[in-house]
Amino acid sequence: MPRKPRKIKKAAPKTDYKYNSIVIARMVNDMLKQGKRSCSESICYGAMDIIKEKTKQEPMTVLDRAIKNIRPLLEVKPRRVGGATYQIPIEVKSARGIALAIRWLLTYAKARKGQPMSQRLAAEIIDASNNVGSAVKKREDTHKMAEANKAFAHYKW
């Protein structure tokens, strides 16, 4: 019998008001600092405007392509077996994959320096949609780690 009670799934997240997208709403929520939603929304929508200017494409299609390119399919989780801890590769569920993709996108956009955040975020999204950039490299590193540890996959339970 499990020691922890089952987690109850939360209701579906609300969409944002401009693009009616769950991904942008989650990006705005992840970007929040000290509850300043208006600041976070202006950064996100500013990035979408910059994407539209630079690529001459619909910004939602560019963002969806970027999320698809960043989203990991495999990740490793540590499992303690006997006295040793093994990194066990597991498949990533869709919701977690999107959450990781958004987190990595924002992390690497923040790591770029010398520009306003909306320009850094737009540049990272454009790079990810073209299958280059730091967030895509992070996904590839995660997949390499899972591939290297696939010998321990039988410890998965």
Q: Would residue 118 count as lying in a domain? A: yes
Based on the number of CB atoms within 10 Å of its own CB, is 84 exposed (0-12), middle (13-18) or buried (19 or more)? exposed
pTM over 0.95: no
**112 in a structural domain:** yes
Residue 16 in domain:
no
Please report whether residue 98 resides in a domain. Answer: yes
Domain holding 62, by residue range, is 22-155
Q: Helix or strand or coil: residue 21? A: coil
State the pLDDT confidence band at 157, using cuts at 50, 70 and 90.
low
DSSP symbol at 57:
S
> Length of the chain, please?
157
CATH number of the domain that residue 79 is part of: 1.10.455.10
Q: What is the count of structural domains for the chain?
A: 1
Q: Give the tens place of pLDDT for each residue, 6-61.
A: 888 888 778 999 999 999 999 999 999 899 999 999 999 999 999 999 999 999 99
At CA 11, angle to CA 44 and CA 1, rounded to 5?
125
